[in-house]
Chain A
C-alpha cells in the first residue's frame, strides 16, 4: 500500500474542481510526472501559494464536493506525483473519488464537524497519521490533537490493498 501519513495541506473551500487541480492545458502531457509543477496552480483560494504550499505535503484536508467537473484522472495523478495519496473531505464528486481508489489512493469522507475540527488545527506543520486497518486518522498539531474514525466500502478497501482497479480486475475479470 501507498504511504497515507504526513504533513497536511488544508484547502478550506468547497467545490474545488478538477480544472483547478490541474488545468486542461496540461492534459496534453503523457506522463504523470510532467503534471507536478502545475498542480493546483489555478486554485481560487485566498492565501494559497501553489509554488510553496505543496512542498512536503502528504494529505489534503478540504470541504465538500472535492474534485467536481472533468473526469480527468490527471487530478489525482497531479496530487500523487506531489506525494499526496490521501484526500480527506466532507464529500467528493463521484468520478474523482473513484479515480483515487482506482489508483490505490484514499478518498476519506468525514462529517462536517470533523472537518471543522481538523481545519482548526491548521499550522504549517500539522501532521495526519492514517491507520488504514483501524479506519482511524489522528491529527497532530501544536494547537491540539483530533482523532476521527472513518468508513470505507469493502470494494474501495480492496482497491487500496490491491494497489488499484487494474491490479484488482486483472485476476478477476
Chain B
C-alpha cells in the first residue's frame, strides 16, 4: 500500500508513537504571534523553563493588532518583543516589517516541502500549500513546541479532492474552496488532511494554493495540502538556490513527497468546476454557501479586502482590475489591507494603491485586525460586510454584524454596486 504525502511527512518526522495512533513529531518550525504566544511565554517563565528548543526554528510576528490599539495589545507586543530579544530569535517581525503571519512567513521562504509546522492559529493549514504538514494548535501545544520542538497528532486520514475542468472568467480559488466547504460541511474534514489534486490545482499559483489550503480548517481539516511541484520550486527559488542546482532539480527532488498512486484515502471527491460561478456565504457558517446569482439583493455597509486568505498581491491585482476608473457606491465604506509590507510596496509600484484610493478605499497597514473583529474595521450591530476573509461566524467582525465571504473580485464588484454583485459583468 502506498502512502499519502502526509503519511510520508509523518514517517520522516516521527519521534515515537507512545500509544497506538498517537504520533509525536519533530517540528521543523514553530510560528508564533502575539495573541496566543504571550500566555505560553508567561507560563514558561513561571515554571522556570523560559527556554526555546531552537531559536532558528522559531519565527515570530506581531500581526493581529498592529500597531497596538490599547494598553493590553501593547503589553502583548511587549511580551513577544522582549522574549524574541532575550532568546535571540532573529526571525522576529515587528512594526514596519510585520504582516499577516500566513502571508508573511511563506514570503520569507520559511516553509519547504516535507516540513512540519505548528502555530497557535487555526489558519496555519495555509502552509500545506507548499507540500508541508502545517497545523493550527492551542497555546499548550505551542508551549511544548517552543520548549521541546515536538507535537503530538492522531494518525492522519486524508480526504482527496480532485479538481478538474476550466475555471470561468471571474471565478477564483476562493470560489473553489467555498464550493468544497459547502460539499464537505463545517465538520466534514475533522481529523483529516484535505489533499488538493488535479489539473486545476497544478495550474494554480502559490497564492491561489494558499487561499485553498487556508480554508481547510473551515471544513474542520487539520491541514490542507498540495503536491510540491515546479510552481512551488519557482516560488521558493530565492531561498533554495544554494541547495539545488536548478528549479528542475528541486522540482524532481520534491516529488519524493508526492502521494503514491495507490495511497489510501478516507474519501475521494471529484469536482469539475467548469460551471462554477462566483460563490458567497449567506449565513453564519462557512459551509452556508450559494452562488452570487442565487441570492436576493443584499446591500452591504463595508467592504474588506485583505487577510491571510486573500490579501496577497494577486488578490489586489484582481480587485484593482475591477475597480480601475470606478468609484465605490456612496452607501458603502471600503478597506483594503495588503497582507505584508512587500505586497504593499508591490501594490504601490504597480499603481494598485492609486486605483484603490481613487475608487474611495481606505488603505490600511498589514494586520489581521478586522477579520476577527479586533481592530481596523470592526462592524456595528446590524451592519453587513462583504469580505475576502475566512470566517463568517456571528459576531466575528463585530457583535451583531454579518459577514459574507467572497473572492476579491466579488468584493470589488460589491463595492461598486453597494450590494453583493457578480464580478463577471465588470470583467468584460
Q: Which residues of A contact B (CB under 8 A)?
A: 15, 17, 19-20, 23-25, 27-30, 32, 42, 44, 64-65, 68-73, 76, 91-95, 98-99, 102-103, 153-155, 158, 164-166, 169-170, 172-173
Contacting pair B136 A20 (CB below 8 A): no
A-B contact pairs, 11 of them (CB 8 A): A30-B76, A65-B187, A68-B220, A73-B39, A91-B190, A94-B154, A94-B220, A94-B222, A166-B140, A169-B150, A173-B24
B124 to chain A, nearest CB (A): 8
When C-beta atoms are compared, the residue in chain A nearest to B397 turns out to be A24
Which stretch (B67-75, B109-117, B196-204, B230-238) binds chain A? B67-75
Contacting pair B399 A42 (CB below 8 A): yes
- A64 neighbours in B (Cβ, 8 Å): 187
- B75 neighbours in A (Cβ, 8 Å): 30
The B105-139 residues at the A interface (CB cut-off 8 A) are: 120-122, 124, 136-139
The digit string for B352-373, where 1 denotes a CB below 8 A from any CB of A, is 0000000000000000000011
- B217 neighbours in A (Cβ, 8 Å): 69
Would you call B36 an interface residue if the criterion is a C-beta within 8 Å of the partner chain's C-beta atoms?
yes
- B147 neighbours in A (Cβ, 8 Å): 166, 169-170
Known pairs A94-B191, A99-B139 / 17 extra A-B pairs, C-beta < 8 Å: A15-B285, A19-B391, A19-B393, A24-B372, A25-B374, A65-B187, A65-B220, A71-B120, A71-B122, A71-B124, A73-B39, A73-B120, A73-B140, A93-B187, A98-B137, A103-B140, A169-B147
- B391 neighbours in A (Cβ, 8 Å): 19, 69-70
- A25 neighbours in B (Cβ, 8 Å): 373-374
A84 to chain B, nearest CB (A): 17
Q: For the complex, give the distance between the alpha carbons of A30 and B139 in Å.
A: 12
When C-beta atoms are compared, the residue in chain A nearest to B140 turns out to be A102
Would you call B325 an interface residue if the criterion is a C-beta within 8 Å of the partner chain's C-beta atoms?
no
Contacting pair A165 B373 (CB below 8 A): no
Q: For the complex, give the distance between the alpha carbons of A92 and B22 in Å.
A: 17
When C-beta atoms are compared, the residue in chain A nearest to B372 turns out to be A24
B319 to chain A, nearest CB (A): 25
Which stretch (B12-20, B326-334, B339-347, B418-426) binds chain A? B12-20
Q: For the complex, give the distance between the alpha carbons of A74 and B190 in Å.
A: 20
Contacting pair B144 A166 (CB below 8 A): yes
The digit string for B63-98, where 1 denotes a CB below 8 A from any CB of A, is 011000010110110010000000000000000000
Contacting pair A29 B72 (CB below 8 A): yes
A18 to chain B, nearest CB (A): 8
When C-beta atoms are compared, the residue in chain A nearest to B41 turns out to be A30
The digit string for B7-51, where 1 denotes a CB below 8 A from any CB of A, is 000000001001111101000000000011011001100010100
Contacting pair A23 B19 (CB below 8 A): no
Interface centre among A99, A155, A172 (most CB of B within 10 A): A155
When C-beta atoms are compared, the residue in chain B nearest to A102 turns out to be B140
- B49 neighbours in A (Cβ, 8 Å): 170
Would you call B143 an interface residue if the criterion is a C-beta within 8 Å of the partner chain's C-beta atoms?
yes
| A23 CB contact (under 8 Å) in B39, B43, B284, B395 | B395
- A24 neighbours in B (Cβ, 8 Å): 372-374, 396
- B137 neighbours in A (Cβ, 8 Å): 71, 95, 98
Q: For the complex, give the distance between the alpha carbons of A20 and B140 in Å.
A: 21
- B22 neighbours in A (Cβ, 8 Å): 153-155
A23-B395, A25-B374, A30-B38 are contacts. A68–B187 as well, Cβ < 8 Å?
A: yes
When C-beta atoms are compared, the residue in chain A nearest to B26 turns out to be A173
Would you call B186 an interface residue if the criterion is a C-beta within 8 Å of the partner chain's C-beta atoms?
yes
A64-B187, A158-B19 are contacts. A42–B138 as well, Cβ < 8 Å?
A: no
Interface centre among A19, A28, A99, A164 (most CB of B within 10 A): A28
Contacting pair A95 B187 (CB below 8 A): no
Q: For the complex, give the distance between the alpha carbons of A98 and B138 in Å.
A: 8
Contacting pair B70 A28 (CB below 8 A): yes
